[in-house]
């Protein structure tokens, strides 16, 4: 079963796929970029560096988590918007009531899948990317059913990621941290390459080192 179609479901029930049309892109382009201080921590929060972007992938609304950290809404990338996804669809797992072990459960209820990349306009420098994943698609019931790789600035940084396997099942958050990403052209690019099923992402934090 390939993730997609007009309606998706998860192990807990129904999901809702949201289109990303011109009107929504214009509305989200008006959202100011949050340059936020780093909250001291609960499990699943960033633990070092200054957060430049904190994006709740798959959610069209801004979100403040239980640690008081502000997450930007997802959007499609345009130069005017400064950050966003290239390709893919977004979905909210509305009936996923519990996501344990995180102060940001809403981040893991929403998802973008099938995207080619995310781009972030940043000053030249060195960055850390914290990538948040959670397998919530009902079509994924065991290891090996969704496998993909991740690149940062054209270099492979995560190979053959199997979120279900590494997290130990469905609806369990998994965070991958990629440090020392050098930006020399004002643009940080994270790419996704599917091997089995489509790639998926739930949240992205970009921290200045």
Q: What pLDDT, in 10s, does the model give residues 92-101? A: 999 898 899 9
* Average pLDDT, rounded, for the chain: 84
CA distance 206 to 54: 6
Sequence-distant (≥ 6) Cβ neighbours of residue 41 within 8 angstroms: 47, 67
Q: How far is CA 53 from CA 50, 175, 206, in A?
A: 9, 16, 5
Residue 84: is its pLDDT beyond 90?
A: yes
Pairing of strands 50-56, 70-73: parallel
Instruction: Judge whether residue 115 has pLDDT over 80.
Output: yes
Angle at 74 between CA 86 and CA 125, to 5 degrees: 70
pLDDT tens by residue, 13-54: 345 444 444 444 433 333 332 323 222 222 244 446 899 999
Contacts of 49 (CB under 8 A, 6+ apart): 38, 128, 207, 208, 209
pLDDT for res 79? 83
Question: What pLDDT sits at residue 4?
Answer: 65
Distance of CA 29 to the CA centre of its chain: 18
What pLDDT score does 8 carry? 35
For residue 97, the model assigns a pLDDT of: 86
pLDDT tens profile 68-78:
999 999 999 99
Model pLDDT, residue 49: 82
Residues 6+ apart with CB under 8 A from 155: none
Distance CA 205, CA 199 (A): 18
pLDDT the model gives residue 48: 61
What the chain holds in terms of domains, given with CATH numbers, is: 9-208 (2.60.120.430)
């Amino acid at each position: 079963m390939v993730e997609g179609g007009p309606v998706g479901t998860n192990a807990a029930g129904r999901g809702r796929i949201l289109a990303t049309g011109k009107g929504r892109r214009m509305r989200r382009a008006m959202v100011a970029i949050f340059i936020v201080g780093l909250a001291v921590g609960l499990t699943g929060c960033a633990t070092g560096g200054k957060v430049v972007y904190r994006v709740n992938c798959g959610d069209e609304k801004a979100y403040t988590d239980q640690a008081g950290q502000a997450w930007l809404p997802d959007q499609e990338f345009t130069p005017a918007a400064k950050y966003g996804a290239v390709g893919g669809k977004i979905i909210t797992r509305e009936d996923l009531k519990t996501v344990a072990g995180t102060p940001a459960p809403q981040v893991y209820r929403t998802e973008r899948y099938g995207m080619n990349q995310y781009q972030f306009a940043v000053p030249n420098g060195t960055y850390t990317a914290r990538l948040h994943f959670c397998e919530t698609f009902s079509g994924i019931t065991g290891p090996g059913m969704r496998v993909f790789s991740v690149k940062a600035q054209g270099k492979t940084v995560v190979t053959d990621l199997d979120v279900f396997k590494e997290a130990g099942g469905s609806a369990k958050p998994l965070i991958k941290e990629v440090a020392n990403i050098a930006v020399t052209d004002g643009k940080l690019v994270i790419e996704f390459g599917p091997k089995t099923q489509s790639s998926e992402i739930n949240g992205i934090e970009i921290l200045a080192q």
